[in-house]
Structures are given as structure tokens and as C-alpha cells.
Amino acid sequence: MIADSEILSIKQRFGIIGNSPLLNHAIRVAMQASPTDMTVLITGESGSGKESFSKIIHSLSSRKHGKFIAINCGAIPEGTIDSELFGHEKGSFTGAHEARKGYFEVTDGGSIFLDEIGEMPLGTQARLLRVLENGEFIKVGSSKVQKTNVRVIAATNVNLIKAVEQGKFREDLYYRLNTVPIYVPPLRERGEDITLLFRKFATDFSDKYKVKPVQLTEDAKEALLKYRFPGNIRQLKNLADQISLLEQEREIDSATLLRYLPRNSDNLPAFFTGKNEKESINERDILYKVLFDMKKDMTELKKLVLESFNSGGLSSQIMQQHADLFEDMDEVGDFERNMPEASKPAPLILDAARDQSEDYEVDQIEDISHEMEDDNSLSLERKEKEMIIKALQKNHNKRKYAARDLGISERTLYRKIKQYEINE
């Protein structure tokens, strides 16, 4: 049994502030797992403090005099990660002028911390599973099986079970890694720890820059406890640093504090409502998404109308064949009627064609169609850019999470950031 005093001394040694039951439980599990060789999976939101746990586990283990290497799997390009982790033979790929040892070889007898394990490519996951199962690995470009004795500690801020469901993460590896799970709670679940941490960061600032520390009034403390802190402790530290630097008045009331809390697109600080992240996605953003989907249908519909003009009229057969598209058009109508005047999209070519088909030559209609399509796509591009910027701000410029919110791949997001010249 681990005594409370032992937990306290670990907190002091690793600079961990807080006393919430969830935090204490996580530290206790880490201490119990340390002396074993069991694989540990640390989960928790970004900025919640997972890194210290990997250090606690290695430092309290019998491997403490061995090497400890921390690797961010998300930061190593897919093409080189196998070679970084397992080494390569000379000439095994272009540029491999010399043979190289990988981290699993040089850390023999020590521990490896695999951060952002959810980003590991599937091929590398297969190699990792093998090394976890029987300590065996093969260098890239070699056929010789080598042995190593490394303890693996992994961490992730994404839901690995979901990644398994999506086929991005091997199920067998997930269970193998998750032998000892440690859950690092988000800041909003740590109650009074939030104000303790604020005080600690404000004191650190005042010691470093020789200024009077800022202090929160009671109502400011209350407001801080209600805030949801998507960026967790990393965000709280930035907040304390900013206020310490910029505020002349060292007593901070809630009005002042609120000015520093990032706002949602509806211009309100992101207070914790007990809803999960998904539910809190802004309603307007969802409407924009609907618009994007509808844009595709509209373009298809326009093509159809033009085709029918070219072939001598909108036949009822075509209308029937594409009844689903025409139904969507009615939804667009409802949607538009309920929208504020300024945000209504440009009228559809279908209306123009329907009302005035007698007076237009087909090539005139095509011209209008192109013009309107350009108008529509311009305003949709503006909206798309706006959405991307919002998603990036909401996720503190973390592309991975912004892409997830937008429902697009990280690669597409990257391309769009370039296309719209967005400065992060």
C-alpha cells in the first residue's frame, strides 16, 4: 500500500501541483506499476500533464540507471519512423550511407516513452507489437532478428478505441499496450487544483521577473473554476503568465479575468457545461457544414438543368430521376428563409431558368450559370476559410484536432491552410 506521504514526496520531486482525488489516484497507479516491467498506457487530454507520469515510472523502476528516451510518434515522418525506432542497414534505402542503430537497440535495459502513440503508422505498429511480445525486432533492410529488453510507456490524447474502430490502430496492440492504464484527469475535473495551479504559476512569474504576484478575487476564482480549459494546464499557465505581464492592478477580479478567456465563435468564454466536446460544436458551424454538402448537390443540379436546356427543355423524366436533389432544394429554401438577410446565398440558377427560360438563349444561361457558380463558390470559400480559422483557434492551432472538428483529414487541412494563406 502506498502512503499519502509517499505520493506527496513524488509530487514535490516532479513538480506536480494538486490534490484532487483523480490526480492522486493516477500517481498511485504509476507508483504501483513502476517496479514492474509492465507496459503502461497514459491517456488524457492535451496539456493535462502526461509527460511527468512517464518520468515517474522510469525513475522509480529498477531501470532507473538505464536510458530513458522520449519519442513523439506524431513528429517523425512516416517514411523514417521504422528506421528511427528499429535502425537500418547500410544501403537499405536512398541516403542510408551508414548502418544505424535504432532507439530500441540503444535503450536496451532502459525505458522508451512513445508519446502520441495514436499517430504511429500501421506498419510500425506491427514491429512494435513484436518487440512487446518477445523482445524481437529486425532493422530496416536486414533479415537478422535481434533482441532487446526495453520497457514501453505510451501516451495518447486521442481515443484509441475509436482509432481501432476506424482501422487506424491495431486492436491487438491496443490491448498489449493497455496492460496498465493511467488516466490523467482534465483540469476541469480537478476542482480547487485549478486555483492552486494559478497561484503557483503567478508566483513563478513574480519570482522570475521580480514583480508583485497577481491574486484572484473570490468571484474571479469562481469564474476560473467554471471555465472548461480545453488546453488544460498548458493553457492555465499561459493565462497566468499573460495576466501577470499585462495587468497593472495586481488584484484580478472576474471582469478582468473574463477578458483573457478565449471566446467561442458566439463570443462567449468556453465555460464548462458538462457537455462533451462534440455536443458543444457551435450550431452555426454545423449549418455551414450543411451548406457545404448542399453546394455539391446544387452544382450537380445546375449541370442537370443546363443539360436539359441544351437538349430542349427540362423533361419530367429527368425531374423524376433526380427527385432526391429537388427535395434537397426545398430544404435549401426553408434554410434560406430562416437565415438572416446578409448571410443568404446567391439565388440558384434553377430559379432564373424556370422563370425566364423563354427569354434566354442557352449560351446566356450558361454565362449566368458560371457567374453564379463563381459567386457561390467565392462566398463558400470565404465561409470555409472562416471555419478553418475558427477550428484552428478553438484547438490552439493543433491541426490534428482542428481537422477532426472539421471532419476532414489533416492532409486536406494542411492543403487548405496553404490555399487560403492562413497564418496560424
Ligand X SMILES: Nc1ncnc2c1ncn2[C@@H]1O[C@H](COP(=O)(O)OP(=O)(O)OP(=O)(O)O)[C@@H](O)[C@H]1O
Beta pairing class for 136-138 and 145-147: antiparallel
Q: Which range of residues in 49-57, 140-148, 369-377, 412-420 is near ligand X by CB under 6 A?
A: 49-57
DSSP secondary structure letters along 221-237 = HHHHHHB--TTHHHHHH
> Considering the complex, what minimum distance in angstroms separates the CB of residue 303 from ligand X?
45
Q: H/E element holding 156?
A: strand 151-156
Q: H/E element holding 256?
A: helix 254-260
**Binding to ligand X by residue 111, rule CB under 6 A?**
no
**Binding to ligand X by residue 148, rule CB under 6 A?**
no
> Considering the complex, what minimum distance in angstroms separates the CB of residue 50 from Mg ion?
5
Out of ligand X, Mg ion, none, what residue 230 binds, judged by CB under 5 to 8 A for its kind, is: none
Sign, CA torsion 303/308/311/316 = positive
Pick the closest to residue 242 from 263, 218, 262, 227 (CA basis): 262
Separation of alpha carbons 374 and 383, rounded Å: 14
Total residues binding ligand X (CB under 6 A): 17
Pick the closest to residue 338 from 299, 283, 383 (CA basis): 283
Pick the closest to residue 15 from 44, 55, 42, 57 (CA basis): 55
Out of Mg ion, ligand X, none, what residue 17 binds, judged by CB under 5 to 8 A for its kind, is: ligand X
Q: Which of 49, 87, 118, 186 binds ligand X (CB under 6 A)?
A: 49
Residue nearest to ligand X (CB): 49
Look up residue 213 and give its three cell numbers.
504576484
Cβ proximity to ligand X, 44 vs 230, nearer residue = 44
**Binding to ligand X by residue 186, rule CB under 6 A?**
no
DSSP secondary structure letters along 202-219 = HHHHHHHHT-PPPEE-HH
Cβ proximity to ligand X, 128 vs 197, nearer residue = 197
Q: Which range of residues in 136-144, 232-240, 313-321, 342-350 is near ligand X by CB under 6 A?
A: 232-240
DSSP 261: S
Q: Which of 234, 322, 399, 400 binds ligand X (CB under 6 A)?
A: 234
> Considering the complex, what minimum distance in angstroms separates the CB of residue 45 from ligand X?
7
Give the type of residue at 194: I
Cβ proximity to Mg ion, 62 vs 397, nearer residue = 397
Pick the closest to residue 397 from 415, 384, 414, 381 (CA basis): 414
> Considering the complex, what minimum distance in angstroms separates the CB of residue 116 from Mg ion?
7
**Binding to ligand X by residue 185, rule CB under 6 A?**
no
Cβ proximity to ligand X, 18 vs 87, nearer residue = 18
x/- binding map, residues 1-30, to ligand X, per CB under 6 A?
--------------xxxx------------
Q: Which residues contribute to the site for ligand X (CB under 6 A)?
A: 15-18, 44, 46-52, 157, 197, 233-234, 237
